[in-house]
Amino acid sequence: MRRRRFLGRVGVAGAVGTAGCGFRGLGLSEGPPRRFRVGDDGFEVAVDGGAFDSLSVRGVNLGMAKPGRFPGEAAITRAEYDRWLGLMGELNVNVVRVYTVHPPAFYRALAAYNRSHADPIYVIHGNWIGEETLREAGDATALSPSFDRSMRQVVDAVHGATTIDPEPGYASGTYDADVSNAVLGYVVGIEWPPAVVRETDRLGEATGYDGEFFAAPAASPFEAWLAARLDAAVAYEADEYGAQRPAAFTNWVTTDPLEHPYEPFHDEDSVSVDPDAIQATDASEAGTFAAYHVYPYYPPLLNETPEYANYVDHRGEPNSYAGYLNDLVGATDHPLLVAEFGVPASRGIAQRDVHGRDQGRHTETEQGEILAAMYEDIREAGTLGGIAFSWHDEWFKRTWNLAPFSDSDRRPFWSNVQTPEQRFGLLAFDPAGAVPLDGSADAWADAATATPERDPVRLGDGADASRELTGLRVTSDAAYLSVRIEADALGGGVDWDATNYFLAIGLTDRGERALPHGLGAAAPADFVVRLGGPDASRVTVRPRYDAFAYEYGAEAGLDLDRYREPDPGVFSPLRLVINRGYTVPKTGERVPFESVETGRLRYGNGNPDSDRYDSLADVHVSPSNDAIEVRLPWQLLNVADPSRRRRLGDFWSEGLDDYETFEAIDVAAASYVPVDADGTAAELDAETNLTHAVPGVPDGSLRSLRFEPPTWDRPAYTERLKESGRIVGDVFARYANGE
């Protein structure tokens, strides 16, 4: 299979009609007509009967969800579409990809944007077919009628010539904006589940497909089914509107046509869906292409294949992502579009990449730098361009390693910063009213407060002022529980060798328990936070309330009896699984189970308006304000739905999905003198080894401030373009200007 052979078959002289019908008065069709095709070097566009010019894709994927709404609610407003398209244009985006029919407001906003800008934003449009729907059908051919119907709906919608009746889970309304003059092409379907491909191939006959616009003479039954779906869509638009445009189907690494002997998971390399099996006929004036979703960290073959891991990119650096792209493009005759690429700026992490492009645990700046480098890789590989995933963060998403710990019915209602799948966007949604984590006191004005009931223990060692606590403040928002410890004086900063701080946090009302670090005190604590400086601060959990141990402990080799019946004063590190272990088939090497300690706390400035902004900051020390601030993600505290104050229950007895409601959170703060790197407290000639506590520690029991978090039905939030968006805009500008 060679790319030049394909281009010879399609040709480069075919004209593509742009006639439309229906209610076209709002659309770009008022302007000069455009024709689209796949040419020798990629997409090509001709304006007003002129010559074809090449177009390299600088794109973003746009989903249909926003905070407080599932995507099927189609709740994005015209004002939001207008604002977002304007921002996309400022970032040099020339293509927006949508996966399904959006509300009419999207098409009206796109038409309005393109009428007022010389450089339009084009659309690559898809139709959505749910993965569960595919799996339930087994054989994809059973879904042919509904699939074709959905594509006819797409075609009618972009031509502004349909009214869609309300149906749960789908957009509806009157589609009266004809944007067909901006539709660069179609990419249909989703990432195909291997089980569905296998079942379709098992039940079908390998007779190929011979249609008007697409042929697949030697295709598998599944590939033939896809050829028929593309043929039906293109034929419908040609018959109804006299128009053609390039069409392709969604594909991904798991179903690519390459062999991957280093892939440890059978399903990730068990079947092939080859775009080259489908060819455009002589009747097709627009042609076809290959469209792949390619991320750097999964499947494991991207890490384990030596030819990828050791591949040297155009920078002279090892780059498995570039290695895979080079292999894929070289083995594909069709021009290739990277229809999804990205990494998330999340606190949590789900997969590692051998070269650091992990699924998560990146700052927003790092996210942008990685995206820019990936786009360079995509262009250097000789592709049609790339479409970044995604335009905005999506609160409804779940991630494999954290999904069991939150309520699936309530995910859109709060911001789970632990979950990588929610943080791929270039546009952030920040909870309204969140403290900026920069030391400023004004943001804490409405917080619950407590002051110390007793004087501190003074040691006369020069650090008494930093250990004397003057106040405790607690507040929350849709993403975090936030705590502010106020001290008498922090001077030029905290001497962590002389002073550590401690928080006790309780949600379960299960009674007092002995605290760790030799503090000689007890509290109703499910979680404790030790603040011992940038390299020695973490959240730990009472073992019986360790959800990681319950869900993954056996695989991790933990002694589960020590978690079910823990010793007094023992608290466990908070961990996050990122790899459940596998064997590389080519070498027999065993890659063990791996987790990271997600309870470790990072120091920095959490205010996006600051020049020192660190989007992963958990702790901020402000000597000028004599304050230390901590923000803790809800999921770190086993909260399954903060919008309704629901947490994980006693999962060892009832399972993970038996949620319990909590009315308040107990929070207490204390200071002490550490004597070693582990934070063990120095012994004092006093009732406890705490030097001070807020509210207090009478009779060895650390008293708590009882904080009642607010609940909500719709989250309040603000939009913010991330630094990653600006960086992506810069790399897009370089290529737009001819790099």
CATH code linked to domain 445-537+602-634+663-707: 2.60.40
Average pLDDT, stretch 504-518?
Answer: 96
E strand segments, 550-626 = 572-573, 575-579, 582-583, 590-591, 594-597, 619-622
pLDDT over 50 at 10, yes or no: no
Assign 226 a pLDDT band (cuts: 50, 70, 90).
very high
Nearest to 238 by CA among 210, 275, 212, 209: 212
309-326, pLDDT tens digit by residue? 999 999 999 999 999 999
Q: How far apart are CA 565 and CA 7, in angstroms?
A: 68
> What is the pLDDT, as a whole number, of residue 40?
81
**Strand-strand pairing, 594-597 and 183-188:** unpaired
234-252, pLDDT tens digit by residue? 999 999 999 999 999 999 9
DSSP 624: G
Q: Where in the chain is the domain with CATH 3.20.20.80?
A: 53-430+718-737
H helix count then E strand count, the chain? 16, 41
- Under 8 Å CB-to-CB from 315, ≥6 apart: which residues? none
Q: How far apart are CA 127 and CA 467, in angstroms?
A: 61
Average pLDDT, stretch 300-304?
Answer: 98
The fraction of the chain above a pLDDT of 90, given in percent, is 94
The fraction of the chain above a pLDDT of 70, given in percent, is 96
668-724, pLDDT tens digit by residue? 999 999 999 999 999 999 999 999 999 999 999 999 999 999 999 999 999 999 999
Q: Which strand (E) or helix (H) includes residue 104?
A: helix 104-115
Give Cα 61 distance to the centre of its chain.
12
108-132, pLDDT tens digit by residue? 999 999 999 999 999 999 999 999 9
Assign 739 a pLDDT band (cuts: 50, 70, 90).
low
Token pair in block for residue 499: 């002073």
Assign 19 a pLDDT band (cuts: 50, 70, 90).
very low
Q: Where in the chain is the domain with CATH 2.60.40?
A: 445-537+602-634+663-707
pLDDT over 80 at 8, yes or no: no
> What is the pLDDT, as a whole number, of residue 12?
30
607-661, pLDDT tens digit by residue? 999 999 999 999 999 999 999 999 999 999 999 999 999 999 999 999 999 999 9
| Model pTM score | 0.95
Q: How far apart are CA 541 and CA 435, in angstroms?
A: 25
B/e letters for 351-365, b = 16+ CB within 10 Å, e = fewer, are bbbbbebbbbbbbbb
Residue whose token pair is 């009206």? 108
253-269, pLDDT tens digit by residue? 999 999 999 999 999 99
E strand segments, 260-300 = 279-280, 290-293
413-447, pLDDT tens digit by residue? 999 999 999 999 999 999 999 999 999 999 999 99
Residues 287, 246: contact at Cβ < 8 Å? yes
> What is the pLDDT, as a whole number, of residue 88?
98
Q: How far apart are CA 697 and CA 670, in angstroms?
A: 9
Assign 2 a pLDDT band (cuts: 50, 70, 90).
very low
Give Cα 646 distance to the centre of its chain.
24
CATH code linked to domain 53-430+718-737: 3.20.20.80
Helices 104-115 and 78-90, axial angle in degrees (round to 10)? 40
pLDDT over 70 at 22, yes or no: no
Residues 450, 694: contact at Cβ < 8 Å? yes
Name the residue with higher pLDDT: 572 or 40: 572
Compute CA distances 316 → 140, 310, 352, 377, whole Å: 44, 11, 22, 12
Assign 29 a pLDDT band (cuts: 50, 70, 90).
low
> What is the pLDDT, as a whole number, of residue 30?
54
177-221, pLDDT tens digit by residue? 999 999 999 999 999 999 999 999 999 999 999 999 999 999 999
> What is the pLDDT, as a whole number, of residue 440?
96
Residue whose token pair is 């098992």? 202
> What is the pLDDT, as a whole number, of residue 99?
98
Mean pLDDT of the chain: 95
337-393, pLDDT tens digit by residue? 999 999 999 999 999 999 999 999 999 999 999 999 999 999 999 999 999 999 999
